[in-house]
Amino acid sequence: MATYINGLCLPLTFLGANTPYVPITKEGLEADIAKLEALLAQANACLITCEGRTINISSLTMDGTNVVAHLVGTTAGGYISGYATTGEEPIPPIANPVSQEFSMTNFIGALGNGNITEFGMYIYRDAAGNDLCDNSEIEVFIQDGITIPEKGAPTLFKTPAVFTLPACAGTLSYTELYEGGADSIVASVDSVTGVVTMAAQTLPSGTGRYYYYVTCTVLGVPTVIATCYLEVTNYFL
């Protein structure tokens, strides 16, 4: 006996444990019931679509050396994963967390090594990661070769004048992410203009590393569109 469900994303399924004109057996019925249960589970999964399912990275914070993506503005449900130029993880994706947070393990160093030009997150319809519904992408900008004095006036880095940031139909803002750990530097970024001010100082390790990110806010919803990494060394007067 053959049967199928039309109009859903299901393959033709054969229930062949019992055949016509052959006595029905308990084992045959149990096998057919198991197939029907699996078919109904597939049908329920097929009814879940990507319609209206979106993902949004609203801000970034640090947890040690892990970059934590905050997902305010992401719709409920679905399965998510993080990705970068170098690959995607986890595979398969995980269930969209109620906490609306996703940790990118030991990711901060990768932002400054030049191997990553973009990263972000995917949201899928199903746990197998078969149907991609939406993604939130963040571009990576790097500027090295910056020098600052040990004494004297501060050095300014004007972000919008140096980096060609992604287009924004709303309001841009800038937020500090990380000051470099062992390669620390005294610096700050203006949240409105994006100008980074680096005080004259002696860098403890000889190199200062400063990370910040750029947000585009449209209709009250912030979306991270870029991260910026500055590598600074001392020059001597």
CA distance 81 to 93: 5
Peptide bond into 97 cis (omega under 30): no
Domain-by-domain residue ranges, the chain? Answer: 2-46, 59-235
pLDDT tens-digit readout, 174-202: 999 998 777 889 999 999 999 999 999 99
Residues 6+ apart with CB under 8 A from 144: 230, 231
Residue 94: CB atoms within 10 Å: 14
Selected from 3.40.140.10, 3.40.50.1820, 2.60.40.10, 2.40.70.10, the CATH number assigned to the domain covering 59-235 reads 2.60.40.10
Using an 8 Å Cβ cutoff, are 189 and 215 in contact?
no
pLDDT at residue 12 in the model: 54
Q: How far apart are CA 110 and CA 42, in angstroms?
A: 39
d(CA 98, CA 201): 44
Distance, CA of 142 to CA of 229 (rounded, Å): 5
Query: Any idea which residue has 């030009």 for tokens?
Result: 117
Strand order in the sheet with 155-158: 155-158, 195-198, 187-189
The pLDDT tens digits of the residues spanning 8-26 come to: 455 555 555 555 656 667 7
| Class of residue 75 by CB neighbours under 10 A (exposed 0-12, middle 13-18, buried 19+) | middle
DSSP annotation string for 144-172: EEEEEESSSSPEEEEHHHHS-PPP-SSEE
Tell me the average confidence (pLDDT) per consecutive run of 10 residues in the chain, 237 residues long. 43 56 69 72 63 93 90 93 92 91 82 87 92 95 96 97 97 92 90 98 93 97 97 86
C-alpha distance from residue 221 to each of 36, 133, 217, 224 (Å): 44, 19, 5, 10
Q: Alpha-carbon distance 25 to 31, whole Å?
A: 10
Q: How far is the C-alpha of 167 from the C-alpha of 161, rounded, in Å?
A: 14
Q: CA 224 to CA 136: how far, in whole Å?
A: 8
**Beta carbons of 181 and 187 less than 8 angstroms apart:** no
